[in-house]
A and B are shown apart, each in its own frame.
Chain A
């Protein structure tokens, strides 16, 4: 179980950390093309490491869970550099919506979409859903 959680955290960090760095550097002038590309590159590195370290594992679903479960907090960290995210949380109602986004993936996707990160998140989500299905199929054979 700990291994699964670590993959979930690693997957989330690999995708969101490069985006946080782009927002930290560019802030209000963040180029969304660069942010999306950096997220994809980070995720690709994580995926390459996962294939190398754990080639037969069924970790895609855990990476996907981590991506969405930790996404709101990490995305808010990024957008805080552009006067969004935590900079716009002014009460418990906002905290409640942030926590809801952690467990309600469509809400998290909407947060990412309005921030301009929908292309990379969409691609990574589709990729992970496909690989999850493949891993389930391989495990069933």
Chain B
């Protein structure tokens, strides 16, 4: 470390990278760590310093394969990045379509159904529940039906459901069913 031009920075870089690797999940997948401290990686890894006038600044990226998803570790926060929009794969033999939050527009905008629908995120369970519930949704009347794809009934003032029975039955089926599908 004595030969380093910026031993403090190099040490901090090494510590943050080591911390990130040490604290990474032990299962397989891909994690991507990105050192936010600008430091020439060769100085850190080899201990050889450069004396080339202009400081060579390289944004080094260290990749560690772990099978879960991709994180971008900045040292001061986690950039959830594009992996946040990753869609889970629909399993074989699914009984209803998977729907992502963009499908929540069938409920209209700014209402309670739309809010609940899109708040669940893009987990496999949420996509499955959303797909199931929307097969019971009758967009023409803005209400849930008793059968998939069946006709609905007029709205109630607060929640756009025709009756508590059809609302509860469709949710009971889909919330439990999504556990398995």
Contacts and interface: CB of A to CB of B under 8 A. Distances in A.
B partners with A: yes
Interface of A: 24-30, 32, 75-76, 79-85, 87-88, 91, 93-94, 97-98, 100, 107, 110-111, 113-116, 118
B69 A28 contact: yes
A114 B131 CA distance: 11
Nearest to B118: A88
Contact of B120 (A26, A29, A84, A94): A84
B3 to A, nearest CB: 39
A85 B124 contact: no
Contacts of B86: 27-29
B115 to A, nearest CB: 4
A116 B175 CA distance: 7
A30 B125 CA distance: 9
Given A94-B115, A97-B112, A114-B175, A79 B69 contact: no
Contacts of B178: 116
Interface string B123-136: 11110011001000
B84 A87 contact: yes
14 contacts: A24-B78, A28-B121, A28-B124, A29-B88, A32-B125, A88-B118, A91-B110, A93-B109, A93-B115, A111-B120, A113-B175, A114-B129, A116-B178, A116-B179
A116 B180 CA distance: 12
Nearest to A81: B80
Nearest to A72: B119
A86 to B, nearest CB: 9
B120 A27 contact: no
B102 to A, nearest CB: 10
Contacts of A113: 171, 175
A114 B116 contact: yes
Contacts of A97: 112, 115-116
Interface of B: 25, 68-69, 78, 80, 83-88, 101, 109-110, 112, 115-126, 129-130, 133, 171, 175, 178-179
Contacts of A94: 110, 115
B115 A98 contact: yes
A54 B91 CA distance: 47
B121 A85 contact: yes
B98 to A, nearest CB: 12
B101 A27 contact: no
Residue of B120, B125, B130 contacting most chain A CB atoms (<10 Å): B120
B124 A29 contact: yes
A28 B117 contact: no
Given A27-B80, A27-B84, A88 B125 contact: no
A82 B116 contact: no
Nearest to A110: B116
Residue of A30, A83, A115 contacting most chain B CB atoms (<10 Å): A83
B84 A83 contact: yes
